[in-house]
């Protein structure tokens, strides 16, 4: 990685909540402009799925690979320069191949599955994987308990990955549930990281199926409410469109406004400052009436510079 331009911003203890690709852009910026050892990331695991007997945690891996500098930059997930020889052979054996599993990536899933079989927790596995890959930030799964996101659709219930990847977000979403979440516990350190952070950042991830599952883990939303003035949420909808993925469509199908204001309503009870893009400045007043401060910052991050700039701006608010 190229050296970071400018000084690191010191003195913060940041806890960020996020999902996969959308979050990882901002997380890379935060990792670059602040002290990574003072950064804790709480990651959605509602997307987790078991395929071919392997435990796959897509969002944990996206965040970890991104901060390790090995992510495929074009896709935003998977490993750079990846090959897919094993997947092709699995397909030859008649196994499902709609979920892309690269050869190097498979090693992560094999390792995680083996660790879990040996009695380690998902958090233990995440910690071992991120440290083996040289990631200095702490990466926590939202919970060690499986909480699969189920999309209730016009085609019946679908695991989120079936909805997103296999069915390309085409089914109409009628409801979302996080199976077993009532009995799930936050992973060790999750509530403490929210409690002890100088800033809590809600990454620009899908509010329904990336941030939503984290909020649904008992105790998380309550802990965020306690820290409301320190919570900064970056809106993932700009000009009525998702920065990434099907957020806009899902919001609309579930009766929410697919706008920054629609997202603001979902976050108002626990967010102190809601960050919107200049494109949505006209919504500032309406967001304010929900009881949040509004900050207007460029939230579209295509380049490394844009990621770092947003990260710096968030820490300087």
Binding site for a second copy (CB under 8 A): 52-54, 82-83, 85-90, 92-95, 102-104, 106-108, 110-111, 113-114, 117, 128-129, 132-133
Residue 145 near residue 45 (C-beta atoms within 8 A):
no
| Residue that is written with structure tokens 């809106």 in the block | 235
The CA angle 34-37-38, to the nearest 5 degrees, is 65
Question: Is the Cβ of residue 4 or residue 132 nearer to a second copy in the bound state?
Answer: 132
Name the minimum Å distance from CB 91 to a second copy.
Answer: 9
Backbone angles phi, psi at 42, to 5 degrees: -100, 120
Question: Is the Cβ of residue 111 or residue 179 nearer to a second copy in the bound state?
Answer: 111
Cα 75 from Cα 49, distance rounded (Å): 20
Question: Is the Cβ of residue 95 or residue 166 nearer to a second copy in the bound state?
Answer: 95
Name the minimum Å distance from CB 125 to a second copy.
Answer: 10
Sheet of 199-202: strand order equals 138-141, 39-43, 14-18, 199-202, 231-234, 273-276, 293-296
Name the minimum Å distance from CB 182 to a second copy.
Answer: 28
Question: Is the Cβ of residue 51 or residue 286 nearer to a second copy in the bound state?
Answer: 51
Cα 178 from Cα 317, distance rounded (Å): 34
Name the minimum Å distance from CB 94 to a second copy.
Answer: 6
CA distances from 288 to 47, 137, 261, 275, 313 (A): 32, 33, 10, 11, 20
Name the minimum Å distance from CB 112 to a second copy.
Answer: 9
Question: Is the Cβ of residue 55 or residue 307 nearer to a second copy in the bound state?
Answer: 55
Question: Is the Cβ of residue 50 or residue 182 nearer to a second copy in the bound state?
Answer: 50
Name the minimum Å distance from CB 25 to a second copy.
Answer: 24
């Amino acid at each position: 990685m190229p050296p970071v331009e400018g000084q690191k911003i010191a003195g913060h203890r940041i806890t960020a909540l996020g999902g996969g690709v959308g979050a990882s852009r901002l997380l890379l910026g935060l990792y670059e402009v602040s002290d990574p050892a003072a950064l804790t990331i709480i990651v959605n695991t509602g997307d987790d799925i078991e395929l071919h007997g392997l435990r796959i945690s897509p969002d944990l891996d996206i965040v970890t690979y991104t901060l390790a500098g090995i992510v495929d930059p074009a896709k935003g997930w998977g490993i750079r320069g990846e090959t897919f020889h094993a997947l092709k052979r699995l397909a030859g054996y008649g196994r499902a191949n709609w979920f892309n599993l690269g050869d190097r990536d498979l090693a992560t899933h094999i390792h995680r599955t083996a660790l879990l079989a040996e009695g380690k927790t998902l958090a233990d596995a995440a910690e071992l994987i991120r440290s083996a890959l040289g990631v200095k930030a702490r990466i926590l799964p939202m919970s060690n308990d499986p909480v699969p996101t189920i999309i209730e659709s016009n085609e019946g219930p679908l695991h989120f990955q079936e909805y997103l990847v296999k069915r390309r977000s085409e089914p109409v979403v009628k409801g979302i549930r996080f199976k077993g979440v009532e009995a799930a516990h936050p992973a060790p350190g999750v509530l403490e990281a929210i409690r002890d952070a100088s800033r809590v950042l809600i990454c620009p991830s899908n509010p329904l199926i990336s941030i939503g599952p984290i909020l649904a883990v008992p105790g998380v939303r309550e802990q965020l409410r306690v820290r409301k003035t320190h919570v900064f949420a970056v809106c993932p909808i700009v000009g009525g469109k998702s920065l990434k993925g099907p957020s806009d469509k899902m919001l609309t199908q579930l009766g929410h406004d697919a706008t920054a204001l629609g997202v603001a309503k979902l976050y108002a009870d626990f967010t102190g400052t809601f960050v919107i893009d200049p494109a949505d400045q006209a919504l500032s007043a309406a967001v304010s009436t929900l009881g949040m401060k509004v900050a207007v910052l460029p939230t579209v991050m295509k380049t490394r510079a844009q990621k770092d700039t947003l990260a710096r701006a968030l820490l300087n608010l």
